[in-house]
Structure 1
Amino acid sequence: MEQGKRRKTKNYYDYSLLFLIIFLVCFGLVMIYSTSSYNAAKYYNDSTKFLRRQMLFAIAGIPIMIIVSKIDYRIYIKKLPIIRIRPITLLFFLCIILQSVVLIFGEATGGSQRWISLGGLGKFQPSELTKICVVLFTAYIVQLAPRRLDNFLGFVRVVALVGPLLALVVVENFSTA
């Protein structure tokens, strides 16, 4: 490639992807309103009850997504200086601990035990964090030795490493898996 035609990747941001995500969020909000307005009006006398709640999450989530997307992904695989552990490994074990806590102390809602109560702050569903962790940890394992995936045994190794975490999610909440 010529020097003048190289694409700058340092400060590149994919605005078309951002637009697509915002469009999908808005579409999802319309779907939430269309499916929940009747019940919200019937039981709460407010047809926008569920829509407003989801809008708050969307309004908070999009700026967080933009901030997180600006973080260089390589920091997840660099060892932390004091404890000498990679953040991705720390996240993996944190998710295993959180999923185990849900199995023991989790709050049952809707017939399934999948939430951790945070007192007055609300509830936390560790399986949401676990989904992100599974994607990041799998990518980390694959980048360590990409040639291992050339055969079935390599694939089995990757699944064996991520399997315990997935098993904890499936035990508590099959719909998340």
Structure 2
Amino acid sequence: MAGRRKKKRSAKSGYYDFNLVAVVILLICFGLVMLYSTSAYTAQVKYGNDMNFFTKQTIISIVSILAALFLSKFDYHLLYYVSKMIYGISIILMAMVKFTPLGVEVNGARRWLRFGIQALQFQPAEVAKIAAITFIPCLIMKMGREIATRRGFLKLMAYGLGLAAAAFYLTENLSTAMIIAGITVIMIFIAHPNKRLFLMWGGILAVLVVLARIMLQITLGEMTLDMDNVENFRLARVLVWLNPEKYSSEGGYQIMQALYAIGSGGFFGKGLGNSVQKLGPVPEAQNDMIFSIICEELGVFGGMVVLLLFGYMLYRLFFIAQNAPDFYGSLMVSGILIHIALQVILNICVVLNWIPTTGITLPFFSYGGTSIMFLMAEMGIALSVSREIKFAK
């Protein structure tokens, strides 16, 4: 009896991952400093106010942090019952972008919904990421052992890749489609009992990607193509990626200048605010190319600090996923971890010209209210799961 009482007392509840809160706030503050440094000149030229981008992002960031802390107080199991509705709503909202006048085009891409005023403008594709993170684990839990069967596996893939296909078709957003597909496949890999099957297909895919890269280099690298006649802009992006110097005037200019920015920064950089490339050579530097300006001003050292902060955030998410009280919470937090990891990796690969440009932003650093709002919603979910963790004394 004494031993049993001791066991009961050994469980301690009321845990809250303040380490995750701290690293998120640190990333947001660091991101705001770099956003102001990167965007001040552009904002002054365009709007006559060097604080334009910074002020908007700061307000949204503060509101999003408070909203995440508020959201973390709710029981995350509620998402189990509404995740299917979130999935459906995300598809409806993306369809509204393509088929209704509420869809608006920004910088040549029709990916936003606007409800009357610009303040109520957002990207529905971000809702689709939340839908994948909450609904795929719900399906896995409902299916149980059925996921090991061919029918169960195909059903899961159909829901996840179907959402990715909807994001691609309805918003023409390939980067979001890739991230949703990545979240789906890796979550299924975590839950599926036959890991060898995934590893085999993953190895085959990696070999095919390398072979495709070599074949593209051989086939297109030496060809002289008229970029004005290349109707498919994705083919144009591949051509620019393979030879940015050759096609510098057709799209390679931005990536070349980003690489110059990184190279000129050296190890410790030119100093905060001293970037030259942000004055025009790197267009829209406050968006997906902000990492190049970080490296120019703070050097390789600054870039490493950013990566270490993201690494620590991913570690905290891994810790929560590993210690979650149930498999649903563990899978959801794993989905959040996968999302952030994929987005950081893909953004940096684009900046370094390791993959074609995709328009993927750097989480917590790139300018964008929708992105920060939904990222903080994910942090709220992770913190809600962390509240249910119990440790032995």
Shift of the alpha carbon at 1:21?
Answer: 1.0
Q: Give the partner amino acid of 2:87.
A: F
Deviations 1:119-160 (A, max 9, x none): 035313211111111110111112223545557775443221
| Aligned positions of 1:75-114 closer than 5 A | 75-77=78-80, 86-105=81-100, 106-114=103-111
What does residue range 15-94 of structure 1 map to in structure 2 within 5 Å? 15-77=18-80, 86-94=81-89
Residues 24-55 of structure 1 show CA distances to partners (whole Å, capped at 9, x for unaligned) of 11122122122211211232232221111100
Instruction: Give the match's secondary structure for 1:107.
Output: strand
Cα distance between partner residues in 1 of 2:85 and 2:92: 11
Task: Return closer, same or farther for 1:155/1:28 CA change in 2, 3 Å cut-off.
Answer: farther
- Which SS does the other structure have where 1:65 is aligned? helix
Distance in 1 of aligned mates of 2:124 and 2:96: 9
Q: Relative to structure 2, which stretch is displaced further, 39-48 or 57-66?
A: 39-48
Retained in 1: the 8 A contact 2:39–2:53?
yes
Distance (Å, rounded) in 2 between the aligned partners of 1:65 and 1:143? 25
SS in 2 for 1:12: coil
CA distance in 2 between counterparts of 1:157 and 1:43 reads 49
Instruction: Give the secondary structure class of the aligned counterpart of 2:12.
Output: coil
- 5+ long unaligned stretches in structure 2: 1-5, 178-393
CA RMSD, 1 decimal = 2.1
Structure number with bigger Rg: 2
CA 1:50–1:152: 2 relative to 1, 3 Å: farther
Q: Percent identity at matched positions?
A: 32
Q: Count how many residue pairs are aligned between Structure 1 and Structure 2.
A: 167
| Aligned-partner SS, 2:113 | strand
TM-score by length of 2: 0.40
Are the aligned partners of 1:118 and 1:124 in contact in 2 as well (CA < 8 Å)?
no
Q: Distance in 2 between matches of 1:148 and 1:32?
A: 47
Report what 2:132 is aligned to: 134
